[in-house]
Structure 1
Amino acid sequence: MPEIKDLSATDASRGFKDMLDLVDQGTLVRITRGKKKRYMLTTAPEATGADINALVDRWHHEATGSMMAP
């Protein structure tokens, strides 16, 4: 299980490079914003062009309800 590091949104934005270095080292970074919002950063596999196009299509559909690509 990876180490988990908690950062406030303010600390994460001030030390953005340091935060990304932690993620690259395998640390799971959990960012808190207020009491309820939490974001987790971890490394992701390299995306292909097809992966990116599929994400854009999905986001467009969710935002507009249209199945047509932008």
Structure 2
Amino acid sequence: MTAHNHSIVWIDHREARVFHFCADEVETLIVRPNDPHVHIHHKANTIGSGHTPGFAREGPNSRISKC
């Protein structure tokens, strides 16, 4: 194994990737959590789009024009 001169760390919401490298080679390490976060959509188990009806999208200050 060669001594690596540089490292780059890429962090995501699911994992971290660590790249150790020098001029000749690259070593990659992937780190994942022991208890991963489970993403639940914010509208899960609800009816509708999640927007308030009418005024929120078509109020008097709306920039959406109807043709």
Which of the five TM-score ranges fits, normalised by the shorter chain?
Answer: under 0.3
Higher helix share: 1
Scaled by the length of structure 1, the TM-score of the pair is 0.25
Scaled by the length of structure 2, the TM-score of the pair is 0.25
> With CA pairs under 8 Å and 6+ residues apart, which has the higher RCO, 1 or 2?
1
